[in-house]
Structures are given as structure tokens and as C-alpha cells.
Structure 1
Amino acid sequence: MRMPVMAGAAFTAVTPMILIAGEYGIQAVYGSMLAAARVRAARRLSVRAGGASSSRRW
């Protein structure tokens, strides 16, 4: 069974998303969400690979 992909946002992030979408289009909002997810995943992998001491860098 496949689960749908859902993008949730806290209410504090909604206003900037609306402003960005108004100026650059909804594609910019989705693209920035994807880019942020990749950066977060890379950071998590680097912290796991380096151990607990490397988490202080972030």
C-alpha cells in the first residue's frame, strides 16, 4: 500500500511561502522544500557518521 506524500507547514512558515509563491511561483516553494529536505538529510548522515561530537558543529 502506498501512502500519499504530504507537505506540512507550521503557521509561521505559511506567510513567507505565500509571499515567495506570489513573486517566484509555486515551483520555487516546492523546489526550496526539496532542497531543504536534502540538506537536512545530508546533515543527519554527517552527524551519524561522525558520532556525537560532530553534532556540536551544527
Structure 2
Amino acid sequence: MNFDLTKHNVGSTDRLIRAVAGAVLILSTFLGGHWVGGLIGAVLLVTAYFRFCPAYGLFDFSSN
């Protein structure tokens, strides 16, 4: 279990996928989707921005 926020564990392809999926989920919330989708989209955008995923840290996984 590694929660060192200074070490990135999200790679560039994973980061791009997270950012696009997060933006789509947030946009779908404004177009009539459920607020939970917007929340998940915000989490995806934050993990893409910081390049750190707590779930990856929990399982010592890195896509970097």
C-alpha cells in the first residue's frame, strides 16, 4: 500500500482516458443525467490532473 502523492501512478494514456471520460460524465449530468455521474466524472478529472489514483496506490499498481 503506497499513498505517496509525489509519485505518479497514472500514465499518459490512462490520464487521457480519465480526462475524456470525466468530461463526458460531467457534461451528461448537465444534459439530464444523474448527479452521481457528475461526481464520478469529477473524481476522474481530479485523478487525471494529479496523476495519482488512490485505488492504484492501494494495490501497488501503476500505469505510468
Q: If the length of structure 1 is used for normalisation, what is the TM-score?
A: 0.46
Higher relative contact order, chain-length normalized (CA < 8 Å, sep 6+): 2
TM-score (norm 2): 0.42
Structure with bigger gyration radius:
1
Larger helix fraction of residues: 1
